[in-house]
């Protein structure tokens, strides 16, 4: 399958270089599964669809390759990579290790303003369950966790974890529409915020571990539904 013009709709910020914007946009399309594993990405077609030269497209594809999100076959094709379970497990290990410490730190000195911001995000996710709008739900899921990194004053670690989490995030995106998953996310987020609010570091860590382990714990169900996308 090849990327279509309908999938590549984007407005450039003319104050920034094109290559990082193409990278960020294409990464979002891959993580959201708009561009699914096996999709062929033609540099020529992408340049035409974005309305730019091939050079920034090439640079963007190289960065996507560095994150393991595309496979580049020189003189042949560039293809969206299958989801690597091994890389997803490594990303889970990294993220769990970092975030367990983050929630401990936040619970040690609860910030009412942070708790309120997190509760508003959870409330928005709860509202999105009725639609359901899984794309926006996933965005709020990411924003919830990023908010905790920023509150713990380790925002650069969010960028590090994000770069390593492409395969895990795609797996989570496949899992999200499966009945019960989105409700579990809301319940886990609520439990994490409640624990931070009352200064209960141990409960926050337990809830965080349960939350981050949900997708890999249901790997077989995901494989049954989306086996063609997995490595």
Query: pLDDT (tens digit, 9 = 90+) per residue, 51-69?
Result: 999 999 999 999 999 999 9
- Whether 158 has a pLDDT exceeding 90, the answer reads yes
Name the band, by pLDDT with cuts 50, 70 and 90, for residue 75.
Answer: confident
Measured distance CA(18)–CA(77) in Å, rounded: 22
> Residue 6's pLDDT is what?
40
Contact 115, 200 (CB under 8 A): no
| Nearest one of 1, 3, 12 to 44, comparing CA atoms | 3
More confident residue, 4 or 111: 111
Range list for CATH 1.20.120.530 in the chain: 85-229
Query: Lowest-confidence range among 8-17, 96-105, 119-128?
Result: 8-17
Tokens 């599964």, residue? 33
Confidence of residue 184 (pLDDT cuts 50, 70, 90): very high
% of the chain surpassing 70 pLDDT? 96
Using the predicted structure, report yes or no on whether residue 220 has a pLDDT greater than 60. yes
For residues 71 and 81, is the Cβ–Cβ distance under 8 A? yes
What pLDDT is stored for residue 79 in this prediction? 96
Domain with residues 85-229, CATH architecture: Up-down Bundle (1.20)
In angstroms, the CA 223 to CA 227 distance is: 4
pLDDT at 11 over 70: yes
pLDDT of 104 strictly over 90: yes
What mean pLDDT value characterizes the chain? Answer: 93
Mean pLDDT of all residues in 23-42: 95
| Fold exhibited by the domain 18-80 | Arc Repressor Mutant, subunit A (1.10.10)
What is the pLDDT at residue 181?
94
Question: Looking at the chain, which residues constitute the CATH 1.10.10.10 domain(s)?
Answer: 18-80
């Amino acid at each position: 399958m090849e990327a279509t013009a309908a999938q590549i709709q984007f407005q450039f910020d003319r104050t920034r270089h094109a290559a990082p914007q193409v990278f960020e946009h294409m990464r979002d399309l891959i993580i959201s599964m708009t561009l699914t594993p096996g999709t062929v990405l033609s540099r020529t077609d992408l340049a035409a669809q974005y309305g730019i030269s091939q050079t920034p497209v090439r640079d963007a594809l190289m960065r996507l390759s560095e994150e393991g999100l595309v496979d580049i076959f020189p003189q042949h094709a560039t293809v969206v990579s299958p989801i690597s379970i091994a890389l997803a497990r490594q990303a889970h290990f990294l993220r769990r290790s970092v975030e367990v410490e983050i929630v401990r730190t936040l619970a040690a000195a609860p910030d009412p303003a942070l708790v309120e911001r997190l509760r508003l995000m959870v409330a928005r996710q709860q509202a999105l369950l009725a639609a359901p709008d899984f794309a926006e739900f996933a965005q709020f899921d990411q924003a919830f966790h990023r908010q905790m990194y920023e509150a713990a004053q380790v925002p650069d670690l969010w960028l590090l974890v994000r770069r390593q989490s492409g395969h895990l995030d795609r797996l989570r995106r496949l899992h999200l529409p499966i009945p019960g998953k989105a409700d579990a996310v809301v319940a886990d987020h609520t439990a994490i915020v409640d624990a931070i609010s009352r200064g209960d570091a141990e409960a926050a860590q337990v809830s965080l571990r349960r939350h981050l382990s949900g997708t890999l714990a249901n790997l077989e169900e995901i494989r049954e539904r989306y086996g063609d996308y997995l490595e």
